[in-house]
Structure 1
Amino acid sequence: MKKEQLAFHETMDTHELLNVKTIALLKSKLIQGVVFDEELRALLQKNVEMSIVDMKELQRIYTYEKPSK
């Protein structure tokens, strides 16, 4: 069976999204260290957790793996 591949522009778009998500994740982690409000810190942690899930999905798309369940 032939493995399907992403088109060049799809690969570049996915790579760019992954880069943006990585920067946002790092920024949220950094800001958590200087925030004193617990509610805001919890929101930042939720953002970090969701970003990790999103990044794993983008990596799966980038390498074009079949989803595992």
Structure 2
Amino acid sequence: MAKYLGLHETLDLHELLSFKNLCLTKATTMSALAQDEELKAILSDEVTAGIHHIQQLQQFLTDRSEMQ
């Protein structure tokens, strides 16, 4: 695998990162407003998954070492 991403790949990752940040913000905000416990649990799971996805996307953008 190449050390660097192409320009279009970098732009796509930035777009995905922006979308996931928006989803995380919305899930966090809605979980504070939700009254149903099941909905709160779903939103809490979404927040946890969103944080993990964002970290993975950031790793693609910052990790310049070769992967095999």
1:62 aligned partner: 61
Distance 1:62 1:34 in 2: 33
**Aligned positions of 1:1-69 closer than 5 A:** 4-65=3-64
Which structure 1 residue ranges, 4+ long, deviate > 6 Å from structure 2? none
Distance 1:33 1:51 in 2: 16
Q: How much is the aligned-residue C-alpha RMSD, in angstroms?
A: 1.4
Aligned residues: 64
- List runs of 5+ in structure 2 lacking aligned partners: none
Structure with the higher helix share, 1 or 2 = 2
TM-score of the two chains, using structure 1 as the length reference: 0.86
Amino acid at match of 2:30: I
CA contact (8 A) 1:11 1:62 kept: yes
- List runs of 5+ in structure 1 lacking aligned partners: none
Amino acid at match of 2:32: G
CA deviation profile, 1:14-67 (whole Å, cap 9, x unmatched): 00000000000000000011110000000000000000000000000111345x
Identity %, equivalent residues: 36
Instruction: State the structure with bigger RCO (CA 8 A, min sep 6), 1 or 2.
Output: 2
